[in-house]
């Protein structure tokens, strides 16, 4: 019998998600809907961290609260930490230094990797919930160095998406949100033909990633793609094949 080691309170849910304190509904595909994930996750709500405070104001004022919640998740058995807001890229360095496990605060951290996938002359565009408050500091904190080559688009002027989420509405017209995303996607491809891929900053945009892909014809990366990759490092897929199984590639 193999030796097993303890030391955790919870087993089998190695990914911890730091959540803003919000009341808006979270549909399938949203990071805050636990059925979105193909694996178990653990959540911690950071009290007082509203969407407005994190996106429109300075999330660094709340960084100690995020660190405390992250350490609670680690104590509960998590081997990796993520968050439910791309603007928390600003907290990446502080949280990563304060907890003993890997931290992936923002979907924006994918930008350098996505850029490396494309040929010369192609750009990675960002679609954000708030173009007006996404700053170079956020991008630099996410590891983006070529700021002039990363165009930013937003849903700020749309019907519902930005307003309903940042103002924390308890009722949301998700058809209107979908149309906001489609309109923004069209703006992206109509503005710059050198754009070769899109990164969705906002974790609430995941349910519409396929719509963006359909409208633009471009690869679309989100917190869903990022966290699935992140989780594979925390819990690699097991392939218990018998040696005589043809799938083992030995015959």
Could you tell me the CA-to-CA distances from 83 to 24, 95, 122, 190, 224 in Å, in that order?
17, 11, 29, 31, 12
For each of the domains in the chain, give its residue range(s) and CATH number, in order of start. Answer: 15-106+228-234 (3.40.50.1860), 107-221 (3.40.50.1860)
Residue-wise pLDDT tens digits, 191-248: 999 999 999 999 999 999 999 999 999 999 999 999 999 999 999 988 876 666 666 6
Residue-wise pLDDT tens digits, 32-61: 999 999 999 999 999 999 999 999 999 999
pLDDT band at 3 (very low <50, low <70, confident <90, very high): low
Task: Classify 239 as helix, strand or coil.
Answer: coil
Q: Are strands 41-46 and 80-83 parallel, antiparallel or unpaired?
A: unpaired
For tokens 């993520």, what's the residue?
A: 82
Q: Are strands 41-46 and 103-104 parallel, antiparallel or unpaired?
A: unpaired
The answer to whether 113 and 49 are in contact (CB under 8 A) is: no
pLDDT recorded at residue 18: 98
Residue-wise pLDDT tens digits, 170-193: 999 999 999 999 999 999 999 999
């Amino acid at each position: 019998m193999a030796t097993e080691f303890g030391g955790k309170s919870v087993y089998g849910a190695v990914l911890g998600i730091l959540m803003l304190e919000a009341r808006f509904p979270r549909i399938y595909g949203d990071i805050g809907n636990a059925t979105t994930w193909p694996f178990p996750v653990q959540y911690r709500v950071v009290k007082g961290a509203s969407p407005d405070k994190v996106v429109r104001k300075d999330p660094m004022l709340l960084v100690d609260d995020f660190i405390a919640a992250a350490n609670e998740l680690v104590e509960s058995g998590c081997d990796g930490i993520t968050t439910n807001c791309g603007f928390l890229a600003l907290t990446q360095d502080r949280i990563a230094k304060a907890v003993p496990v890997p931290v992936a605060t923002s979907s924006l951290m994918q930008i350098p990797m996505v850029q490396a996938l494309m040929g010369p002359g192609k750009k990675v565009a960002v679609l954000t919930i708030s173009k007006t408050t996404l700053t170079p500091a956020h991008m630099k904190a996410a590891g983006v160095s070529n700021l002039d080559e990363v165009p930013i688009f937003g849903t700020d002027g749309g019907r519902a998406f930005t307003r309903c989420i940042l103002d924390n509405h308890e009722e949301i017209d998700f058809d209107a949100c979908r149309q906001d995303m489609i309109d923004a996607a069209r703006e992206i491809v109509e503005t710059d033909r050198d754009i070769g891929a899109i990164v969705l900053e906002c974790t609430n945009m995941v349910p519409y990633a396929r719509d963006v892909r359909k409208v633009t014809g471009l690869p679309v990366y989100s917190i869903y793609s990022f966290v699935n990759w992140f989780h594979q490092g925390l819990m690699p897929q097991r392939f218990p094949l018998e040696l005589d199984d043809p799938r083992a590639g030995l015959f």
